Amino acid sequence: MFSKACEYGIKAAIFIALKSYQGERVSLKDIAAKIDSPEAFTAKILQKLAKNDIVDSIKGAAGGFEIEKHKIASIQLAKIVDAIDGDSIYIGCGLGLNKCSEDHPCPVHHKFASVREELKKMLESTNLEELALGIKSGASYLKT
């Protein structure tokens, strides 16, 4: 469904949000360990998230990643997915047709529409705060 990069990005963002919520800044090393991802690859993804204003990166000793507390609740899953995988998940044709629209649909166009719509709604209505709280409360997990 999502690329590995996107999976790591979502998990990293959730972990950073969780820690930022508690006033802590986290290092790449920490993140990779807690979400069980390859460190250097995760670094690249965090750069993307930083460039898309989803996380703040602070250089130097005692540096790391954080998200401003007041922003956590306003960052939707959709924003993260879009930053990493782009919008193909919303707009692309399910069968890869170059031109696939209402008046030139692929065979599964209408069948897919509702699934895609549901996915879109889900991504747009889910924010980092609730996901971080799920981890904090032990209701959900970031690895294994």
Partner DNA sequence: CTTAAACAGGACAAAATTGTCCGAATTAAT
Partner DNA sequence: ATTAATTCGGACAATTTTGTCCTGTTTAAG
Partner from a copy of itself, DNA, none binding residue 40, C-beta < 5-8 Å depending on class: DNA
Choosing from 22, 24, 41, 121, the residue that interacts with DNA (CB under 7 A) is 41
State the nearest-atom distance from the C-beta of 5 to a copy of itself, in Å: 11
Choosing from 32, 77, 80, 84, the residue that interacts with a copy of itself (CB under 8 A) is 77
Choosing from 17, 19, 65, 77, the residue that interacts with DNA (CB under 7 A) is 65
Does residue 40 interact with a copy of itself by CB under 8 A? no
Distance between CA atoms of residues 12 and 3, nearest Å: 14
Distance between CA atoms of residues 75 and 73, nearest Å: 6
Nearest to 69 by CA among 25, 108, 29: 25
